Amino acid sequence: MRRFASDNADVLSGLIAASARNGDLAKPRPVERWNPPYCGEIDMVIRADGTWFYNGSPIGRAALVRLFASILRKDDERYVLVTPVEKVGITVEDVPFLATAMRIETSSHGETLVFETNVGDVTRLGPHHPMRFEKGAHDGIKPYVHVRGELWARLTRTLAHDLAGIAVEREQRGEAWFGIASAGAFFPMCRASEMAEMGA
């Protein structure tokens, strides 16, 4: 049985108040530098579809979701909401964010893919913000892009389809791979032979 912090409402109110005292409510905070005591788990869940739930009900206010996203961190295998004075654990079914928009920026250094998440984070795909791929049980290859810290965003199905349309073929360790090129980096998605089999 999961055990929650003794008074979820008080903990949540404290998180909101502490976050509000630290500036812009939607701006990511320096959570990696904060090391407050752990106060237990609260009944908050980020579903695989990106919806945030509290006490079994969806959080309808986008501003509140962005506030919580701004103080989210991953410690080892646990996701926590962190302020300078306390941290509490929450449940994340897959990864905390969804990448919902994508654009291509072109400069003298080449092309860079830029992603925006459902909570307003903007991340530029490259050496410092890589992409990884996982094979889903029923929905093919699922792409994820690094956002910040140990936090990742999964591309929506529509965006994943668009991404597949701009995949390129490169040689990696003597094998031909399909993958995504951005900001001088290449992120292998699958072997070219596997792509040929899927298209057959």
Could you list the pLDDT tens digit for every one of the 200 residues in the chain? 454 555 555 556 666 665 555 555 556 788 999 999 999 999 999 999 999 999 999 999 999 999 999 999 999 889 999 999 999 999 999 999 999 999 999 988 789 999 999 999 999 999 999 999 998 777 688 999 999 999 999 999 999 999 999 999 999 888 899 999 999 999 999 888 776 555 54
pLDDT, residue 107, reads 86
Compute CA distances 185 → 102, 129, 195, whole Å.
17, 10, 21
Query: Domain 97-199 belongs to what topology?
Result: duf1285 protein fold (2.30.270)
List where CATH 3.10.540.10 sits in the chain. Answer: 8-92
Neighbours of 19 (CB within 10 A): 20
List where CATH 2.30.270.10 sits in the chain. Answer: 97-199
Compute CA distances 111 → 124, 156, 188, whole Å.
10, 22, 17
Sheet with 175-182: list strands edge to edge. 168-172, 175-182, 185-191
CATH class of 8-92: alpha beta
| Beta pairing partners, 106 | 111
pLDDT, residue 65, reads 94
